Amino acid sequence: MEIKGLFEQIKKKDREIAVIGLGYVGLPLLVSLSKHFKVIGFDINGKKINNLKNGIDENNEFKNLNLSIENCTLTSNVGDLKKANFFIITVPTPIDIYKNPDLSYIEKSTRLVGQNMSSGSIIVYESTVYPGVTEEFCIPILEKESKLKNKKDFFVGYSPERINPGDKKHLIGNIVKVVSAQNEDSLEVISKVYSKIIKAGIFKAKSIKVAEAAKVIENTQRDINVALINELAILFSKLGIDTRDVIDAAKTKWNFLNFKPGLVGGHCIGVDPYYLSFKAKEVNYYPEIINAGRKINDNMGFFIGEQILEALLNNHRKKINFRVVLFGISFKENVADSRNTRVIDIYNYLTRHNLEVSIYDPVVNAGDVRQNYGIELINYEDIEGIDAAIFCVAHDCFKKLDLSELKSKMSSENPFIFDIKWIFKREKVEKIGFRYWRI
């Protein structure tokens, strides 16, 4: 099969690109590609497709979404995929309840592509996986569903996503793009397609497995670094030392890695290490540092909940029924997504100890919170008579809050602010009349 001329056909808009999955990764990719090529944006969620057609991005990453009708087809109709010869799969790769890789989304999307692709196609995977998934798991599905032969009738590639939700600085075009493929010709086509939208440059990995491994260790490394700081924060709390004061002193050295303690949730850092650990066990290696980091970070919400409860009991010895508000439930600041948030660990810990806990978060999708956790969010106007404000997420809107007004909503003269994300300065908070706690 001649694959060399595919890019020129795509460039002339004689062939189309299909982006499968229009979430935090797929939608920015679709928007960028639609400025240069004819593209199909596919998602099985019909409601999402309708919203996108009306310029509405559920994740609030695009305030004024405007996809060209001439260049972009938004659809949940699998038959529309038959128009494409270049497929990019950007579906989620979560973990199951046993913290093993859940490849069901990637399996379903691969089947859809296999059933609708034609000879002469290239399929690129962007979903985060462990080394071997693209070639050992996905290709057999593509061959079975398409009745085509890999490396003869079609080629695959892997180009790990590096989108950072909520980050307005490191946008898709500003991040170096790692690409990989099965041979030089398909690698060249993939590189040329991405080069049109990536200003930061293209890095050609030596193999697909190398590219898969590079992606999964990016988040594993960050997870381990945060775990170290979290463990130090636990230790320093027992020693009566302020962790922020320690870090402020330590970071004056040029090579100190300035990580902060906190909750590690979301779809990447809190998930990807489990993918690597899973693959390691397949080859009879049991990673110690990776697993230890995950254990520390997974338990951080319960440690914070314990500290909050202890502080409240120590300062209100005659009180039993506490009312508190958690500020923020999204997995990350300024992001509308509450899936895989570790704030829920704090909520569950406090409610199990009979505290009355409410959550205020004007950024997230309230319907998703209701559906995923069975929790009704409150409005800021509903806050009154509480004993503590617990800031779990560093939304910009929280940083702008009038703390004097917030204090007027509290039940005691010296109420608590628990500042998990280091949003406020201790001196300012205490001057207003709050008790202040941070990790």
40 CB contacts (<8 Å, ≥6 apart)? 16, 17, 18, 19, 72, 73, 75, 80, 81, 83, 84
Q: Token pair of 329, please?
A: 């439930």
Q: Above 90 in pLDDT, residue 380?
A: yes
Residue 64 has pLDDT above 80, yes or no: no
In the chain, % of residues over pLDDT 70 = 97
Mean pLDDT in residue range 431-437:
93
Summarised one tens digit per residue, pLDDT across range 395-408 is: 999 999 999 999 99
List active site positions: 268
Residue 1: what pLDDT? 52
pLDDT band at 68 (very low <50, low <70, confident <90, very high): low
Question: What b/e readout covers 402-419, taking b as 16+ CB neighbours within 10 angstroms?
Answer: ebeebbebbebeebbbbb
| Residue 314 scores a pLDDT above 80 | yes
Q: Which domains does the chain have, with CATH numbers?
A: 6-206 (3.40.50.720), 297-438 (3.40.50.720)
- Which pTM value belongs to this model? 0.92
Q: DSSP for 25-87, please give it.
A: THHHHHHHHTTTS-EEEE-S-HHHHHHHHTT--TTSS-SS----TTTEEEE--GGGGGGEEEE
Average pLDDT over residues 421-439: 93
* Token pair in block for residue 270: 């809190």
What is the rounded CA–CA span in Å between residue 59 and residue 163?
13
pLDDT category at 100 given cuts 50, 70, 90 is very high
Q: Give CA–CA dist 144/126, Å, rounded.
A: 21
Helix spans in 147-242 (H): 184-195, 208-239
pLDDT at 172: 86
Please say if the pLDDT value at position 427 is more than 70. Answer: yes
pLDDT tens per residue, range 145-174: 999 999 999 999 999 998 777 767 777 889
The H or E element that residue 8 is part of is: helix 6-11
Residue 27 above 70 pLDDT? yes
Q: Cβ of 174: how many Cβ atoms within 10 Å?
A: 12
pLDDT at 168: 73
pLDDT grade for 381, boundaries at 50, 70 and 90: very high
What tokens appear for 139 in the block?
Answer: 């290709």
pLDDT on residue 317: 66
* pLDDT score recorded for residue 4: 80
- 3-state SS class at 206: coil
Give the CA radius of gyration of the chain.
24
